[in-house]
Structure formats: C-alpha cells, structure tokens
Structure 1
Amino acid sequence: MRLYMYKGKPLWRATSHMQKRHIMGFVRNALGLDPPPSPDDPTPENRFHPWDVSPSPDLRERAATIRAMAKCPVTGKEINYTCPTSGIPTHHSRDAWERDNEYHKSGRPQILKKANIYEHDLRSGRPFPEFDFPLDQDFDRMVNMTNWDLFFYTRGFYSMDTEFQLAAVTKMLSYPITIGSVLHQFSPYSLNPKGPITLEGLKSLAALRYTLYPEQNRKVTSTAKNSPLRVFILGARAEAQLPGHVWKQLQFLFPETQIELHFVGHESYFDRNKREYVSSSTPIVRRVDETLTFIYHTDFFHVYHEAQDFFPYDPYNDIFFCFHPGFAAPESRENWMGKTMEALLETKCAIFTTGFNEKDLKRDIDAVESTYGKELDMLMEPVKNVFGSTKWELNDMNPQEVYQFNMYIAGFRGKRYHAIEV
C-alpha cells in the first residue's frame, strides 16, 4: 500500500511502488530514455571483496583482528580460513568450514556477505545523494510512520532504490526516527492486544503527546507547553556523534516543539580535534538552532540525579532512551543494575530501550524485571522495531554473530501507584 497526499487528504493506491519503480526503470532503459548504469553504481558483484585482500585498509585490519582474536566455532582454534561465500574469516580451516552444518543451514553466510558488501560500499567513494536530507515538512503533507519506505516517501527523501542506499541511511536515521516513531501521534505501535503498548504505556505517551501537539490542547493551559521536550539518551556513544542535521529529522516531526537532547555517559562527548572522548565537570552545550539543542553530560546518570541537576522531572516533558544498553551483559550489568537503574525508575518517566536482536533485548528486560519487577510498569512489550537499521553488522570477536542496530524495542517506567495492603 502507498499513501499519496492531495490537498492534505490521504489517497491510498494498492500497488507495490518498489515493483513499479523497477518495471518503469526497465522500460525506460529498454527505450533508451535513461543513460546506461554507471560502473560505480553499487551492486553485490562490484562491492564484494574478501576482507583479507580488501582495497580498504580498514577492512584488511578488521580481518587481521578476527584472525588474532576470534575462535573457530567448530574447533575452538584460531581462525585461518575465509568463508568463500561471505569473504569474511570465519573458521580455522576449510575442513572446519565444511563440517559446520549449522552455519550453512542458518543462512548466515549470505547475511555476512551483505555485511561485507555494505562496508565496502560505504568506503567506495561513490556519491551519496541519499544523504541530502529534506528540510521542513509542509503543513499540508502528513508524515506516514508505518515503515521506512512510507516515511521516506511522505517526508520527501531521495528515492532509495537499492539496499545499499537503505543500509547507509537507515543506520544513521534509526536513532532519531526510533524516538520519533514512539512519540508520534500516528505511531506504528498500537495498544494491546493488537499492539505492544500497554495501558500504562498509553498513559505515558498520552502525556508526552499533550506537550508535542499543543494545537490540539489550546483550551487547556499548561506550563509543560512552554518548556522544551527533554530527551535523555543514556550510555550515549555513536548516537552522540551524529551530525545536527540528522537529529534535526526528529525535530521536523514535531515542528512546534523545542527539543533538548541530553547525551549522558562517559563516552557521550567526542572531541574531534583531540580525537578522544573527554569529560567535563559542567554540561557541554551545543545549539543546532533555536529549536534543537545538544547537551552532553560526561558522567553516569545517577551522579546527576543525586545532585538533582535534572530536577524536576516531568512525565509531560521528559523521556529516556537507552540504545543497546546491555543491562544484562556481564561487562556492563554492574554499571546499570544499581544506582543508575534506581535513579531511572525514581523519575517516573517513560524509558525505552533497544536491542541488537530479540534475544538481546529480552535478556535485558528480564534482568530489569527480575531485579526491580515490583517497582516498575511495562509500557511496551518487546517487539521488532519498525525503524531499526537495515544494515547488517558483525562482531569482530565472533564474526558469526551478526546483528542490526535497534532491531527490537521495549519500554518501562517506575511504578507510579504502589499497591497498598488492607
């Protein structure tokens, strides 16, 4: 289904636009109306190179890291053999590769091949017209948040006809648009039982949307409407380094709202001149424009919470996001599942978290529920994120572990009303 707008009214046309694009492209090529494709246009064939002999030094270095650090899943020995399907080192020897039936049956070689060609495309030096993002949304056009394709179309993005363009753009936009999809009045996530949003989740989102859509609440006065929306991103890393024009795509979804993005964590601020993460005893403020501000806090959230730096919290104005936090991961659980989680739940504001895959997210949610179950309400049951990245990634320490950023999402909040025994 495709949504078209005419004088502000939606018109539905039951057709597969991707199929139509490909058919029209074939016809135009056949009639000589289009120039022949450039040899620089990305294809699976011209973007495939074994990482050991890659034209990119970065990928040759990653191949060396895999050989030095990863272990063969069959023999447990070092990795010395490059999978001919994916072009990535995966096994100790050809014999081990041939004997790994689970690897071949899982379809992982093809996914690893996609990860390979996406990385080569980003380093190919080709033009990237898909990064020319649109500006303000016209008031007579409605944004459709059903999926990536309809979002791109109704926002007027460059027509992305290939998987390479989608991979490059969705990885970058997954962070702001995931936030936008949760907050938007036409969110793709509906109320239980058909959707993942719980009744408590509906209450939290209704409060936030009251602030985000002031034109619908003009008869009611509120100080919330005079304050910026505060989006706290805890454990911020790569998302804190995204350019302003990328995060501006979130603000364009709510054109009447001022937004403050608070990046919190030891890796939240990267000094490009020093080429290192830096810490600061005071917040680092960067104003993108009059409607969007970045504020970097380079310590743990509970430190600022205990100092009351963020007080008062307001469920109408404040929302928290933790992208791939690793609540249950051995290396990061101690940092999350103590003072930081207790401080988060004390805010009584909505908290949303994402995972690299379903298992990763459910493990995190189980850790939170098992530790703080009586102190929280679920707002959103774990579900596949409509606006997760489509770009496949791999873990260099375990090259058979493939994932996508923000693939699954869930939400919870500190319990507002505690049961009273009578």
Structure 2
Amino acid sequence: MILEKSRRVLDLEERLTAFMEEHIYPNEARYYRESEDLGPWAVQPILDELKPKAREAGLWNLFLPQSEHGVGLTNLEYAPLCEIMGRSHLAPEVFNCSAPDTGNMEVLARYGTKEQQDAWLKPLLAGEIRSSFAMTEPAVASSDATNIESLIRSDNDDYVINGHKWYTTNATDPRCKIIIFMGKTDPDNPDRHRQQSMVLVPKDTPGVEVVRSLPIFGFYGVPDRASEVVFRNVRVPKANILLGEGRGFEIAQGRLGPGRIHHCMRLIGLAERTLEKMCLRVKERVAFGKPVSEQSVTRERIAEARIMIEQSRLLTLKAAHMMDTVGNKEARGEIAMIKIAVPNMACQVIDWAIQAFGGGGTSNDFGLAAAYATARLLRLADGPDEVHRDQLARFELKKHDRSSRGVGDWQPAVSNRALGISPAR
C-alpha cells in the first residue's frame, strides 16, 4: 500500500526542495573545500551561514516523531523529507537533522530526566551544541555490543569511567559538548544484556582525550567526524546515568532503530541524485563514435539502478509505516531488511556512476567518491550486514515450523526404504 502524503508533508517537501536548490547545491563545492582546508577539528563557515536560514524557514528538527520537542512528523511522513536532505552531505546538519545528534536527541527525549533534557537536549535542539555517541571499541568485535569492555565503576555519588572508543562521531567537533558513553556497570551479571549502562559525559571532563580524527576512505570529517577517544578515570555524577544501571543495551536498541531507518532514507536520496548525475553525464560523453548513453551496458545499468532504488524506497516506507503503527520492536525484521538492502543498493548505484564518469569519478569533483564512502560505511555502521542477515534469518525460521498452517507435512516422493537405502547410523 502506498499512502497519500498529507498536505503538510507536501508543503514541507516543496519548501525543502526550494531551499536545497537555492542554498545547498550551490554551496556544496565550498563545503567540501572548507572541509578539506580546515580539517575535522574546525567548523565549516558555510554551516554557520546556512543554519539560521533553515531555522527561519521552519525546516528545523523535522526528525523527531510525535514529540513535544519536534515538528511531530511520523516516520512515514519524515521519510520523503529525509530522502531530500540525503541528496547532499551538506544538508542534514544545516537542518539540524544529522547523525549522531538526531539519535542522541531521541535518547534524551525518550529516556532523559528533566534536568538532563534542560542541560543537553534543549541546546541540541537549538543547534547551539553538538554531541557524540561512544559505543564502538577497537579491541573487540563491536558488532556484538555485549563485547564492550569499557567499565563504569560506582564510587559513592559518582561513576568512574575507563574505556577506549573509536568511530565516536563528532568528537573532534569543537561544538561537541556532550558524549553518550556506553560501558559495563555490572560485568559479572549472568544476563549479558543487563551488564551495560549509558552515562552522559561532558566532553570537557578531566580524563576525556580525543586522540585523533579517523578518515573514512581518506575523508576526514566528511561524511562524518569519526574519532578515537580515550576515557581515563573520568568522574561524573551518578545523576548522569540514563534510565538506570543495566539499561544500556535497551537504550541502544531503542536508539538504533530510528537511526538505521534515517540512514536508509538519506541513502535513497543520495542514490537518486547519483543516478541523475549518471544520466546527465552519459548523455554528454562520447566513446567509440556515439554517446555513452547509447551503449547497451550503460542502459542496462541505468534500468537496474532505477529498479533497485524503487525497491529500496518501498521497503523503507513499509518499515517506517510499521514503526509508526506497530512499534519498533515489531518492525525489527523490516528495519533489518532495509539496513541490508539500502546500503548495498547505494554502493552498486554509485559504483556504476563512477564507472560511467571514468577516471573523474574516482576524484571528488563530482561528489561520487564521498558518496561511495558514505554508502560503504553504512554497511558496517549500526550493525554490519552479516548481523542483520543472521537476525532476519532467525525471525524467518521462527515463523516456520511443523505447526505452520499451509505448509503441510512434507514427505519425499520416494522413500529411502523403497530405494533400498538404509537409515544412517
């Protein structure tokens, strides 16, 4: 079922598209240049110029569903808007809709106390500060979150934190003021999913060291500011814990569902724009006496790209609809499907575009190299393909057993006994 868009969503789409045409696309080259010249430890001036314009236009914090803090769009309503923003690396932050801030704001809105919300959620919603999420660790396979080794030790009215994190997005950003840290408060708990907790750590707390910026396929700060961070005897008040001890894994699952679908929505927009670039490019380029657009292999790839994008979009809309109607837990299978399908689709479409552009496609003159880095990264971020496939297969196997209606009691057409084959011993 394809649900009709509301008048409100259509209006936001129109205004968002107009803003992209007037302010985002014309400034992309400047954004990439500033990112390269200034590096990941500085703020690109173009962001400070465009954010007030986006806020004045009423295109701000569109991501928060059914919340007193946001516009109140559902996931399904937000999907086409997020797709439009995803067409450019510059756009999401301009509209205060970029990761990891969106996920962190949702965590604070859902699980934070009033004091925590006043201290951190309000300035994040206002775009006055940025934040980080410290979960992944270099010493363990972080695709299994129960592997986390970082410790959060109780000491009277404080917690003392020790851990080594990386791919902690935003930590090099000078505007980053708060880090959501995941570690173990009860490492000996027999329930491996009750060992972890999440604690709010102000970035300027003694013992927090941002070691370095991590490049993503050679890109520092674009598409995000991946960072390595060490926490040595970092002391914070116990009031900084989120939801309570042993609730970290629960919060992570609540946070990652919306985060995953937002990534997929943005990737669909990136793939759509990449296909547009590819079509324009192959019409202009001539090889072996005719435009590249008339080469059969090019047309086949364009056709396959269109099919793959449409399939991904429909599956993502279904996941969004289920999250809105039956909840994130019941939509786990659909969320897993899109987290597998969409990044793989985007990688393929961008790869075909790079091939069509020729050598120039491997530079970032056309934005394709950064686009590929984004898509490839998202086959790992928020859980690698393999984990989601395993989870999805488990869901599917659980649905089908001998009691499943319509399956019947299957028997081979010819028995082993009739063939003279003895049962294995």
TM-score, structure 2 as length reference: 0.23
Greater strand proportion: 1
TM-score, structure 1 as length reference: 0.23
